[in-house]
Amino acid sequence: MSKEKISSETTSGRTSHIKSDILLVGHPNVGKSVLFSRITGIHTIASNYPGTTIGYTAGQIRFGKQYYDVVDAPGTYSLEPIDEAARITVDLIDEAVRIINVVDATHLERHLPMTIELLAQDKPIVIALNMSDEARHKGIEIDVKKLSQRLGVSVVPTVARTGVGIKDLIQKVFSLEIREPKIEKNETTHPGHHPHIPHHNKSQTAKNHEHLSEKDIWTKVGNIVEEAQTLHHHHHTFGERLEDLSVHPVFGGLTALVVLALSFSFIRTIGEFLISGEIGIFGQSWIKLPFGIEPLFNVAWKPLMMKLSTLLGPGNFLHSLLIGTLVEGRIDFMQSFGLLTSGLFIPLGAVLPYIFSFYLVLSLLEDTGYLPRLAVFMDNIMHKIGLHGYAIIPTLLGLGCNVPGIIATRILETRRQRFITATLISISVPCAALQAMIIGLVGSRGAWPVALIYGILFISWIIIGIILRFTTRGFKPELLIEIPPYRMPSFQALFSKLWMRIYGFLKEALPIVIAAIFVVDILYHLNLFKYVASFTAPVVTRLWGLPEDTIVPLLVGILRKDVAVGMFAPLALTTKQLITGSVILTMFFPCIATFVIMFRELKLKDGLKAIGIMLFSVLIIGTAVNFLLPG
Amino acid sequence: MSDKLLTELFLNEEAEVIAITGGRMVRTRLRSLGIIEGQKIRKISKVGLGGPVIVLINRAQLAIGFGMARRVVVRTK
């Protein structure tokens, strides 16, 4: 088995030189990651939008008796180092022994210019003509032999999604002739400009691209495509009609609204069904099945815990640590706060179902290819906050967990965009775990308090965004994206991705939840909270209108926000206090994992700036909500 | 025959790219997606209020931010 490692050095602009025996290079969204998974057996996150692989992924393949390092480069449109992805790719090419250039068979004319740039690199290359099935469906016929002849390298048609052609590709890659490392190396020039080294392949056509101008390359590509590709007429498919509809000037916007509304209702319905076995809308249940994690906990786990409770005897330390406090003589999984009661129920019973439903819906949106279309229709709004439409993708990921959301800001072009997006995610985008607890706890007071919390967070997101737009300086690039065709998600890939994300949650979050509850119990036992409470009281009670007891959950929010919301449960808060509390908890201090990632991605100075903005925002908005909200 | 900016093109109107005004950064980004002089282009949609323009080139859909689309000069037949 090989181990997955993902670069963490990509934002600094310097890639540590990673050597690879096989390097996958190609445009964004051609299926490099899927191909990489096929070759190495490593599961990677792949989606149908440009920029899924941030940094690069490394793995291994066994061929014969030896292991070879395989690296999946980030997608890039050209080798001219105008952005991070291209710079990383150029560095990776320099250190690669063989290259697989992954090309989209449906858009040869756009992919071949980079192939020609690559051929000039003096590296053994094989071309994977990926999505060859899609090309066939679209009436695009490619003469592989001719293409291979004209380019002077092997071309292998592949369908990474199903595995067609992969064996052949690997065979071809390993039959490439590897030359000794070149002796002559010009220190000052870029790896893309080694003009005098003859190409390894003897073909006439593959030589001397080095002196070709931009225009020559495009003419050359035009000629090759004309010779090797035949287009057949084909009828508009259903998918293409949907594609037209979803970018239509009028219906496109409506589609975006409908998709978002449906997504949120699906997430809630599936989440609630998994928890309670009920299907319905806020408070009203239409169907109730004898199913759900909550009933399971009540039937199977509670009696056992009650027995343990009597055995330990309420009141002693071990009892309050493992079982927690009894509510009217019984265990309440949301309120007792013992390690074995709330410690298990909060992550597994209340949060996990929502993690599942959120990532199920998100993965569907990702894999069908809807997200870039959403980005187009969000472009106007995002410009108001100094960003462009594509920033909606990290923001949506942040609704699952802030950590991958902030990492995904790397798909944005400039440091300024990354700063604004990441700061906004950490301040006003609640993660799925937090949302699950807010829906669970505040939802019991009705639908409107929950809606109000989302409304306040959304308005804060816009206001802070507008302020950041006018206070940060830097270049503001425009949206420029390729809109991929709709694709039927491969359910195997979808569930494998879903599982990776759920496993990630269990592995990362579960230990912290348990640790958080452990710390809370110890601190309560030692009575240390009273001390903290006394000096933060003026802000919490006077400005935010919350009882002093809420200081403890607010502090616990630094460890895990879902646990923190859970701690509101036994405090008998008014609905207004629950709303203020939930808003403050979302905005106040990111959880420890987000905190670490923010400093890693933004670096010290911008990280501190983001924290400063956050503290200021939570003070102002918490106070505003308290004084403006009636009741 | 008339020259106009990509943003001024009518919906479903076909044209040929004749110039890209703007710096190296803009040119390189546009070029990498196939928007070069001589390329045939068709505007298939737009988002109002200064939103992106959506074009079809070589059977691929591209969304181009309004500010960038204004840098593309096209010639209609």
SS3 content of chain A, % helix, strand, coil (to 5): 60, 10, 30
What per-residue string of b and e applies to A443-458 under the rule 16 or more CB within 10 Å gives b?
beeeeebbebbbebbe
Say what the pLDDT of residue B44 is: 93
B66 shares contact with chain A (CB less than 8 Å): yes
A236 shares contact with chain B (CB less than 8 Å): no
Nearest to A482 among B25, B52, B60 (CB): B60
* Contact across the interface for B68 and A109, Cβ inside 8 Å: no
DSSP string, B6-33: GGGSPTT-EEEEEEE-S-HHHHHHHHHT
**Average pLDDT of every residue of chain A:** 86
Say what the pLDDT of residue A54 is: 67
Sign of the CA dihedral A549, A552, A555, A558? negative
The rounded distance, in Å, linking the Cα atoms of A39 and A62 is 9
Contact A483, A304 (CB under 8 A): no
* Contact across the interface for B28 and A80, Cβ inside 8 Å: yes
What is the chain A residue with the closest CA to B51?
A380
Say what the pLDDT of residue A369 is: 92
The burial class, CB within 10 Å (0-12 / 13-18 / 19+), for A244 is middle
Type of residue numbered A175: S
DSSP state of A301: I
What is the chain B residue with the closest CA to A78?
B32
Contact A268, A439 (CB under 8 A): yes
* Element housing A343 (H / E): helix A342-344
What is the chain A residue with the closest CA to B71?
A478
> Helix (H, G, I), strand (E, B), or coil: what is residue A227?
helix
User: Which residues in chain A have their CB less than 8 angstroms from residue B52's CB?
Assistant: 376, 379, 389, 479
A461 shares contact with chain B (CB less than 8 Å): no
Contact A433, A402 (CB under 8 A): no
Contact A74, A53 (CB under 8 A): yes
A575 shares contact with chain B (CB less than 8 Å): no
Residue A138 has pLDDT above 50, yes or no: yes
The rounded distance, in Å, linking the Cα atoms of A59 and A66 is 14
Rg (CA), chain A: 28
* Contact across the interface for B65 and A376, Cβ inside 8 Å: no
pLDDT band for A414, please (50, 70, 90 cuts).
Answer: confident
Residue A43 has pLDDT above 80, yes or no: no
User: How does strand B2-5 pair with strand B72-76?
Assistant: antiparallel
Range scoring the smallest mean pLDDT among A5-19, A246-260, A417-431, A485-499 = A5-19
CA distance A247 to chain B (A): 6
Q: Which two tokens stand for residue A479?
A: 């949206």
Nearest to A247 among B50, B61, B65 (CB): B61
Alpha-helix residue ranges (DSSP H) falling in A138-237: 144-151, 166-174, 214-228
B2 shares contact with chain A (CB less than 8 Å): no
The rounded distance, in Å, linking the Cα atoms of A109 and A397 is 33
Q: Which of B17, B29, B57 to probe the A interface (max A CBs under 10 A)?
A: B29
Q: Which of A76, A131, A480 to probe the B interface (max B CBs under 10 A)?
A: A480
pLDDT band for A84, please (50, 70, 90 cuts).
Answer: confident
**ipTM, interface predicted TM-score of the complex:** 0.95
Say what the pLDDT of residue A490 is: 84
User: Of A120, A47, A35, whose CA–CA distance to A79 is shortest?
Assistant: A120
pLDDT band for B76, please (50, 70, 90 cuts).
Answer: very high
- Greatest distance between any 2 Cα atoms in chain A: 87
Q: Which two tokens stand for residue A226?
A: 């004309």
Within 10 A of A525 (CB to CB), how many other CB atoms are there? 11
B32 shares contact with chain A (CB less than 8 Å): yes
User: Of B31, B23, B27, whose CA–CA distance to B62 is shortest?
Assistant: B31
Residues of chain A with pLDDT > 70, as a percent, come to 91
Mean pLDDT of A375-403: 93
Type of residue numbered A468: L
**Which residues, at least 6 apart from A42, have a Cβ–Cβ distance to it below 8 Å?**
A2, A4, A36, A57, A59
B62 shares contact with chain A (CB less than 8 Å): yes
Type of residue numbered A482: E
> Helix (H, G, I), strand (E, B), or coil: what is residue A330?
strand
Contact A217, A116 (CB under 8 A): yes
The rounded distance, in Å, linking the Cα atoms of A27 and A78 is 8
Nearest to A376 among B25, B36, B52 (CB): B52
Residue A316 has pLDDT above 80, yes or no: yes
* Contact across the interface for B54 and A247, Cβ inside 8 Å: yes
Residue B61 has pLDDT above 70, yes or no: yes
Three-class DSSP labels, A562-599: HHHHHHHHHHCCCHHHHHHHHHHHHHCCCCHHHHHHHH
Range scoring the smallest mean pLDDT among A3-17, A267-281, A505-519 = A3-17
DSSP string, A514-554: HHHHHHHHHHHHHT-HHHHHHHHHIIIIIIS---GGGHHHH
What per-residue string of b and e applies to A467-497 under the rule 16 or more CB within 10 Å gives b?
ebbeebeeebbbbbbbbbbbeebeeebbebb
User: Of A263, A308, A94, A118, whose CA–CA distance to A201 is shortest?
Assistant: A118
User: Of A71, A67, A89, whose CA–CA distance to A174 is shortest?
Assistant: A67
* Contact across the interface for A77 and B66, Cβ inside 8 Å: no
Residue A231 has pLDDT above 80, yes or no: yes
Q: Which of A49, A251, A379, A412 to probe the B interface (max B CBs under 10 A)?
A: A379
* Element housing B66 (H / E): helix B66-69
Q: Which two tokens stand for residue A336?
A: 């007792």
Nearest to A388 among B30, B59, B65 (CB): B65
Mean pLDDT of A58-76: 90
Nearest to A109 among B51, B58, B68 (CB): B58
DSSP string, A282-293: TTEEEEE-S--H
pTM: 0.85
The rounded distance, in Å, linking the Cα atoms of A291 and A313 is 32
Residue B54 has pLDDT above 60, yes or no: yes
A249 shares contact with chain B (CB less than 8 Å): yes
Question: Which residues 5-24 of B are in CB contact (within 8 Å) with A?
Answer: 11
Question: Is pLDDT larger for residue A156 or for residue A535?
Answer: A156
Q: Which two tokens stand for residue A444?
A: 């019991």
pLDDT band for A282, please (50, 70, 90 cuts).
Answer: low
Residue A189 has pLDDT above 60, yes or no: no
B33 shares contact with chain A (CB less than 8 Å): yes
Mean pLDDT of A286-314: 90
Residues of chain B with pLDDT > 70, as a percent, come to 100
CA within 13 Å, CB half, A27: 28
Mean pLDDT of A144-172: 94
User: How does strand B40-46 pair with strand B53-57?
Assistant: antiparallel
Q: Which two tokens stand for residue B13?
A: 């109107």
User: Which residues in chain B have their CB less than 8 angstroms from residue A244's CB?
Assistant: 44
pLDDT band for A283, please (50, 70, 90 cuts).
Answer: low
The rounded distance, in Å, linking the Cα atoms of A108 and A141 is 11
